[in-house]
Amino acid sequence: MNKDRGMLKWQPALMLPELKKLHEQVTQDYFRVSKPILDEYLIQEIEEQITYSMEYILPVTITLYNDGFPKDIKGFFVYLDPINKKIKFELEDQTFLNIKFSDILDIMVHE
Q: Is the dihedral of CA 96, 60, 56, 47 positive or negative?
A: positive
Strand partners, 64: 71, 104
Least confident span in 2-11, 55-64, 69-78, 81-90: 2-11
Range of lowest pLDDT (16-20, 70-74, 78-82): 16-20
- With contact defined as beta carbons under 8 Å apart, do 88 and 98 qualify? yes
pTM for the whole thing? 0.76
Where is pLDDT greater, at 26 or 10?
Answer: 26
CATH code that applies to domain 40-109 = 2.30.30.520
What pLDDT is stored for residue 28 in this prediction? 86
Phi, psi of 98, rounded to the nearest 5 degrees: -95, 125
Cβ neighbours around 50 below 10 Å, total: 19
Bridge partners, residue 106, by sequence: 63
